[in-house]
Amino acid sequence: MAIARFPVVVLDCPDPQILAEFYGALLDWKVEQSGDDWCTLRAEYGDSLCFQKVERFTPPRWPGQDVPQQMHLDVVVDDLDLAETAVLELGATKHEHQPGTTFRVFLDPAGHPFCLCSN
Domains of the chain, residue spans: 5-118
Task: Determine the pLDDT at residue 19.
Answer: 94
Q: What is the DSSP letter of 48?
A: E
Task: Determine the pLDDT at residue 8.
Answer: 86
Judge whether residue 62 has pLDDT over 90: no
Strands (E), the chain: 5-13, 30-34, 38-42, 48-53, 71-77, 93-94, 103-107, 113-118
Query: Which one is the CATH code of 5-118: 3.40.50.880, 3.30.930.10, 3.40.720.10, 3.10.180.10?
Result: 3.10.180.10
State the pLDDT confidence band at 2, using cuts at 50, 70 and 90: confident
- If one compares 20 and 68, the residue with the highest pLDDT of the two is 20
Q: What is the value of pTM for the model shown?
A: 0.75
State the pLDDT confidence band at 71, using cuts at 50, 70 and 90: confident
